[in-house]
Amino acid sequence: MKQILVSGVIALFLSLIGTPLLIRLLARKGYGQMIRDDGPQTHHSKRGTPTMGGIAFILATLVAYASTKLITGDKPSMSGVLVLFLTAGMGLVGFLDDYIKLVKQRSLGLRAKAKMAGQLIVGVTFAVLALNFSDSRNQTPASTKLSFTTDFGWSIGPVIFVIWALFMILAMSNGVNLTDGLDGLATGASVMVFAAYTVIGVWQYGQWCGAQVSANGACYEVRDPLDLAVVSAALMGACFGFLWWNTSPAKVFMGDTGSLALGGALAGLAICSRTELLLAILGGLFVLITMSVIIQVGSFRLTGKRVFRMAPLQHHFELKGWSEVLVVVRFWIIQGMCMAVGLGVFYAAWVAAS
């Protein structure tokens, strides 16, 4: 448990002091955010705000995890390393996209095929590796079974698993990216989900098949539950530190660098903790905002009419007259309720099983 506290505190500290240094560097280079002309008029004042701030919390997370292992003398686990690989890999794809937008002055960044290729390479590599590196109990970081609060049903096989893992990674990355439209919204929502996964990792470790089994034989078949909690705590601390500078009025934006990394981290934690479908509840705000875009596009193509004044959903409420801070706080409340419901379902499933 010491590792969880150490990783969270180090990541928080590094992100708090590292983000303003990054802001100054980005500002000096002139790497400022471009704002859509068709968006809310209040956003035009944000033009030129430094972006690619996701670099700060990605580096803070990686350094915090490595430092924790050095301080405690504990070895890194394959599950933890793979989640961090997915986080950094997706962040790298986002960084290339941001870099081309800002430095090359190409508004669309990476071309769609190149961006998708990068995400596929990182996602497939993660999925394939996650089915290898079995421990002494023959447990691999990921399972070929679908999972909700634990694995269930028949094995879907390695090929379909890779496709499923890719879907999760792309869905969560796009979900966080769509949510990252208001100051602090995506960062604050991510903090809550990472907090939930820290709790889940600690609980799974307490009821872990590798350590003990309850009287009726119930336990969690997860390869490295405690280390997943360490990674979650590092991500939570890093995002907390970044939120200090990203909250309204934001001094820096995370950019695709941050949003793709956070989406990858969430998907990786869900896959390795065997809570894949539960992520849809824990990260309910991301799902809600993604669905608003799907509904808007689908409605317009089928009927020529829009359901919302603007998609994603947060901009609809801005155009209805809600202030940016009001939208963010109320959406944080929604995400908090999703997190609470998700943890409640997770615990209820354990009670029912035991």
- How far apart are alpha carbons 175 and 205 in whole angstroms? 29
**Contact yes or no for 15/56 (Cβ under 8 A):** yes
Give me the helices (H) in 247-272, please.
Answer: 255-272
Task: State the helix-helix crossing angle for 225-246 and 185-206, rounded to 10 degrees.
Answer: 160
Closest CA to 268 of 122, 135, 160, 154: 122
**Contact yes or no for 257/56 (Cβ under 8 A):** no
3-state secondary structure of 187: helix
Whether residue 177 is annotated as binding a ligand: the answer is: yes
Rg (CA), the chain: 20
Give me the helices (H) in 275-312, please.
Answer: 279-282, 284-303
**Contact yes or no for 162/143 (Cβ under 8 A):** no
**Contact yes or no for 273/197 (Cβ under 8 A):** yes
Amino acid, single-letter form, for residue 250: A
Check residue 30 and give left, alpha or beta (phi > 0: left; psi -120 to 50: alpha).
left
Whether residue 74 is annotated as binding a ligand: the answer is: no
- Fill in the DSSP letter of residue 354: -
What does the angle CA 209 – CA 236 – CA 179 come to, to the nearest 5 degrees?
Answer: 115
Task: State the helix-helix crossing angle for 284-303 and 157-179, rounded to 10 degrees.
Answer: 90
CA 244 to chain centre: 18
Q: Which residues are annotated as a binding site?
A: 177, 256
Q: Which residues are annotated as a binding site for Mg(2+)?
A: 177, 256
